[in-house]
Amino acid sequence: MSRLIVVSNRVSAPKDPAAGSVGGLAMALSSALRKYDGLWFGWSGETVEKFVPEAKIEDRSGVTVALVDLEPQDVDEYYNGYANKTLWPLFHHRVDLTAYERSYGEGYERTNARFAEVLAPLIQPDDVIWIHDYHMIPLARDLRRRGVTNRIGFFLHTPWPARQLLVTLPHHRRLVESMFSYDLIGFHTREWLDLFRDYIASEPEVRGRLLPNDAVEAFGRVVQTGVFPIGIDVDGFLKARNSAFGRRTYDRMAASAAFRTMIVGVDRLDYSKGLEQRLLGYEQFLNDNPDMRGDVFLLQVTPISRDEVNTYQDIRSRLEGLAGRINGEFADMDWQPIRYLNRTYRRDQLAGIYRAAKVGLVTPLRDGMNLVAKEYVAAQDAEDPGVLVLSRFAGAAEQMGEALLVNPFSREELSDAIKRALTMPLAERKRKWECLMEVVRDTDVSIWRDDFVASLRATNRPADGSGNA
Ligand code: ADQ
């Protein structure tokens, strides 16, 4: 079997795979790389004064990684700029937060060309290349320019935006055209794929054709697309949950809840996760249900992320203010309605925390998939499972229809859903959980990975490699 090359902005192959903090995606990709004797390529996270077009090769527990250092200007314009201030907000429908700076677009193009310059010589004729996420959309085009004719696939971990919003990007056509250098493009959900297809078919500057079996034709080329819903490493997560540390964390949480019912939220601090709306919905619930105050509390675990971007500093201080205000207004001498913390936990601890919560609040305003929803379900006890309240705007909602689906923009709807979750009879909770757990198992991260790689290997490549060059 030919080698697999995984490419992502940050290489998360773990130095120590036994460490409790390694995520399912990192584990799944690392084990595929061990199996196919592959390579994981990406930015080292380091900067150098002058770019050197050569990768640093390391071995990380049997996985070969190839890392590139970038110049500070690349990091400002490509990573903090175009990736995190332009594409991330735009793909999450926040045009109000999108930075339309020309220098960011130029830095993005330059840095992707640099990645191609370093990666191209590492590629062998039979390698299959899998590029991840919005940081590296044009990379296949840049590799083709360097004569790479291998199969190249792309997977987008975020939503794809509606055409009406995508066209606010000055070079939207160029960005989308670059995607036609791939052999396969994958999305988490049918909804994101349909939005992509809508752009191809309806955008006057493109006027592409939708072909059978989700192939699309535009810019004189044909590309295969598909839906590949990501999931968690179910067995690994259950092992973490049942480990001594996972059980100890559960006991510790249960003791600290002191017979009160815990509601949990676990999200990176990001405006796409709907954290302010969630706290307002919870406040509404406290207002609507004075008799339930004192019996519940919300544990909101929110590690800081992308703190070098101003928008993230703003939302951080707004959230702190909001949590403080709600606590100030409702707390009693022996009860605090919100425990708000900015730290990360190991997976076994996280599993113990989820398990102790009778309600999981996963209410993003827009999210590619959302793995917390699946982790919360996997952590529950079959005999007395908690209830998942899930935003209808998370990709996960396309599969997890048995959750209590809510519109996170409406605080009344959030309040009603929290109440319904807290009062749901055991039989209904069990029935819902069984359906949801089946979805979690059916979308295990290893299934997602194998499905994508097999589909990529099955795509038709022109014999001389010229068709998509
Ligand atoms: P994210 O936006 O990061 O991922 P999500 O899918 O929820 O969102 O994954 C977050 C991960 O971080 C989960 O595994 C969670 O356990 C972990 N995490 C969150 N808070 C933590 C904490 N306090 N301590 C430790 N771990 C914590 C992007 C897209 C998503 C898509 C994924 C995968 O935005 O839509 O589901 O990629 O494709």
Closest Cα to atom 27, ligand 1: which residue?
A: 344
Report whether residue 369 contacts ligand 1, using a CB cutoff of 6 Å: yes
Distance from residue 392's CA to the centre of ligand 1 (Å): 17
| Contact (CB, 8 A) for 362 and 396 | yes
Report whether residue 344 contacts ligand 1, using a CB cutoff of 6 Å: yes
Backbone angles phi, psi at 57, to 5 degrees: -95, 130
pLDDT band at 465 (very low <50, low <70, confident <90, very high): very low
Query: Which is it for strands 296-301 and 261-266: parallel, antiparallel or unpaired?
Result: parallel
Q: In sequence order, what are the beta bridge partners of 39?
A: 5, 64
The pLDDT value recorded for residue 1 is: 75
Q: What is the ipTM of this complex?
A: 0.99
Q: What is the pLDDT of residues 274-331, one digit of tens each?
A: 999 999 999 999 999 999 999 999 999 999 888 888 888 889 999 999 999 999 999 9
| Contact (CB, 8 A) for 154 and 137 | yes
pLDDT band at 36 (very low <50, low <70, confident <90, very high): confident
Distance from residue 379's CA to the centre of ligand 1 (Å): 15
Please name the helix (run of DSSP H) or strand (run of DSSP E) that holds residue 4, with its range, or none. Answer: strand 4-10
Instruction: Examine the residue annotation and report whether 171 is marked as an active-site residue of this protein.
Output: no
The pLDDT value recorded for residue 19 is: 60
Contacts of 103 (CB under 8 A, 6+ apart): 77, 81
Distance from residue 210's CA to the centre of ligand 1 (Å): 33
* Burial tier of 252 (Cβ tally within 10 Å: 0-12, 13-18, 19+): middle
Q: In sequence order, what are the beta bridge partners of 10?
A: 43
The pLDDT value recorded for residue 213 is: 96
Sign of the alpha-carbon torsion through 175, 177, 182, 185: positive
Report whether residue 39 contacts ligand 1, using a CB cutoff of 6 Å: no
The answer to whether domain 4-227 and domain 234-443 are alike in fold is yes
Q: Is the pLDDT of residue 117 over 90?
A: yes
The pLDDT value recorded for residue 22 is: 66
Planar angle of CA 133, 137, 139, nearest 5 degrees: 115
Q: Tell me the mean pLDDT in the region 80-95.
A: 97
Q: What is the pLDDT of residues 414-426, one digit of tens each?
A: 999 999 999 999 9
Query: Whose structure tokens read 């919003």?
Result: 165
Helices within 344-425 (DSSP H only): 347-356, 371-378, 411-422
Identify how many contiguous H helices and E strands the chain contains and give both numbers: 17, 16
Q: Is the pLDDT of residue 85 over 90?
A: yes
Q: What is the pLDDT of residues 178-232, one digit of tens each?
A: 999 999 999 999 999 999 999 999 999 899 999 999 999 999 999 999 999 999 9
One DSSP character per residue, 153-217 reads: EEE--SPPPPHHHHTTSTTHHHHHHHHTT-SEEEESSHHHHHHHHHHHHH-TTT--EEPGGGEEE
Please name the helix (run of DSSP H) or strand (run of DSSP E) that holds residue 254, with its range, or none. Answer: helix 244-257
Distance from residue 46's CA to the centre of ligand 1 (Å): 23
Query: Whose structure tokens read 């600290």?
Result: 256
Domain boundaries, the chain: 4-227, 234-443
Distance from residue 278's CA to the centre of ligand 1 (Å): 17
Instruction: Examine the residue annotation and report whether 367 is marked as an active-site residue of this protein.
Output: yes
Report whether residue 373 contacts ligand 1, using a CB cutoff of 6 Å: no
Query: 183, 270, 367, 444: which is the annotated catalytic residue?
Result: 367
What is the pLDDT of the chain when averaged over all its residues? 94
| Contact (CB, 8 A) for 305 and 378 | no
Global pTM reads 0.96
Sign of the alpha-carbon torsion through 15, 18, 24, 27: positive
| Contact (CB, 8 A) for 3 and 124 | yes
Report whether residue 301 contacts ligand 1, using a CB cutoff of 6 Å: yes
Report whether residue 303 contacts ligand 1, using a CB cutoff of 6 Å: yes
The pLDDT value recorded for residue 469 is: 39
Among residues 228, 150, 121, the alpha carbon closest in space to that of 185 is found at: 228
Query: 92, 135, 157, 172: which is the annotated catalytic residue?
Result: 157
- 3-state secondary structure labels for all residues of 16-47: CCCCCCCCHHHHHHHHHHHHCCCEEEEEEEEE
Q: Tell me the mean pLDDT in the region 241-250.
A: 97
Q: What is the pLDDT of residues 285-296, one digit of tens each?
A: 999 999 999 999
Backbone angles phi, psi at 209, to 5 degrees: -125, 140
Q: Is the pLDDT of residue 399 over 50?
A: yes
- Superfamily the domain 4-227 falls into: Glycogen Phosphorylase B; (3.40.50.2000)
The pLDDT value recorded for residue 464 is: 46
Q: Is the pLDDT of residue 79 over 80?
A: yes
Structure tokens at 121: 């010589």
Candidates 2.40.110.10, 1.10.3720.10, 3.30.565.10, 3.40.50.2000; CATH matching 234-443: 3.40.50.2000
pLDDT band at 466 (very low <50, low <70, confident <90, very high): very low
